[in-house]
Amino acid sequence: MGCQSRLQIGESLSTRHRVSVADRSRGRRTVITINIANEFTRLPGPRYRDQGPGSGEQFLKEHLRPAFQKAMETGERVIIQLDGVKYGYPTSFLEEAFGGLAREFGIDAVRRTLFFESHVEPMLNEEIHYYIDHAEDTRGA
């Protein structure tokens, strides 16, 4: 059973970030889904925008942060679909995007809100959680 079945996601709607909506009265949750390959790039790049295209910084600013902020406001979850990229993910991309989010909003908030889905590279989940768990909280710094 895939992640979507466990979360009891309803039908998908077509928006900037596909949003799957279901009736909360039946115990279902509303979920924001970001498919990196389809909505950002099939070639994830370096850490910073000035180092090249498809950077972790760009993904954080243009996709991840807005979806996370919306989820925090509405109590939704964010599912990041990791499959479909051409050559995998540079560690600098993952650390900047997901570690950067944890530095900005706090490790606990990110772990409660963000979930990852990969059928091709299931170990990515552990790698990304490592970057989240080891991010230094810079809020108020």
Question: Is the residue at 8 inside a domain?
Answer: yes
Question: Is the residue at 56 inside a domain?
Answer: yes
Question: Is the residue at 30 inside a domain?
Answer: yes
Specify the pLDDT at position 21.
34
Residues of the chain with pLDDT > 70: what percent? 76
- Record the tokens describing residue 103, joined without a space: 């530095």
Is the pLDDT reported for residue 58 higher than 90? yes
Q: Which of 7-11, 77-81, 97-101, 135-139 has the lowest mean pLDDT?
A: 7-11
Is the pLDDT reported for residue 28 higher than 60? no
State the CB neighbour count (10 A cutoff) for residue 12: 13
Question: Is the residue at 139 inside a domain?
Answer: no
Q: How confident is the model at residue 136 (pLDDT cuts 50, 70, 90)?
A: confident
Is the pLDDT reported for residue 127 higher than 80? yes
What is the chain's mean pLDDT, rounded?
A: 83
Quote the number of domains for the chain: 1
Question: Is the residue at 120 inside a domain?
Answer: yes
Question: Is the residue at 128 inside a domain?
Answer: yes
> CB–CB of 89/53 below 8 Å?
no
Per this entry, what is the length of the chain? 141
Q: What's the domain range around 91?
A: 3-133
Residue in the structure block whose two tokens are 């790698």: 127
Question: Is the residue at 140 inside a domain?
Answer: no
Closest CA to 49 of 124, 100, 85: 100
Question: Is the residue at 141 inside a domain?
Answer: no
Specify the pLDDT at position 30.
84
Rounded Cα gap, residues 23 and 28, in angstroms: 6
